Amino acid sequence: MKTTLELPDPLLRRVKVRAAQTDRKLKDVVAELIEKGLDAVTAAGGTAPESPAPRRSLPVLKRQTGRMLSVEDIDAAIADNRFAHLGSLDELNRYLDELRADRDDASA
């Protein structure tokens, strides 16, 4: 299942370093760490919530072309770290278009 998480920058950097050091995907490391955290709470006698919090609707980000952003597009933008200065969704969309074009050129 896909989801969106908002993590503090220092925490995300630590997780990304761990993923790189173990040559694993970021999503796999995040899933492992969440599982370990939940297991630790259970082992300590705590209980995990029986049902998830009510879902809130999140906006779907779309590129100017109307195509939805892929996880790979977003991961590339995060890994690149040049996106931090972008002040709007339109600027992010343009930047992601450039990344995709660079990736397509490199694979051609």
pLDDT of residue 60: 55
pLDDT of residue 104: 75
pLDDT of residue 59: 53
Q: Which two tokens stand for residue 91?
A: 């600027």
Looking at the domain assignment, is residue 79 inside a domain? yes
CB crowding 56-90: b at 16 or more within 10 Å, else e: eeeeeeebeeeeeeeeebeebbeeeeebeeeeeee
How much is the pTM? 0.42
pLDDT of residue 27: 92
Whether residues 67 and 107 fall in one domain: yes
pLDDT of residue 61: 55
Residues of the chain below pLDDT 50: none
> What's the number of domains the chain is made of?
2
pLDDT of residue 101: 80
Looking at the domain assignment, is residue 1 inside a domain? no
Q: Residues with Cβ < 8 Å from 82, sequence gap 6 or more?
A: 95
Query: What residues make up the domain containing 43?
Result: 7-52
Looking at the domain assignment, is residue 77 inside a domain? yes
pLDDT digits (tens, 9 = 90+) for 34-50: 898 888 877 777 665 56
Whether residues 68 and 91 fall in one domain: yes
Whether residues 48 and 65 fall in one domain: no
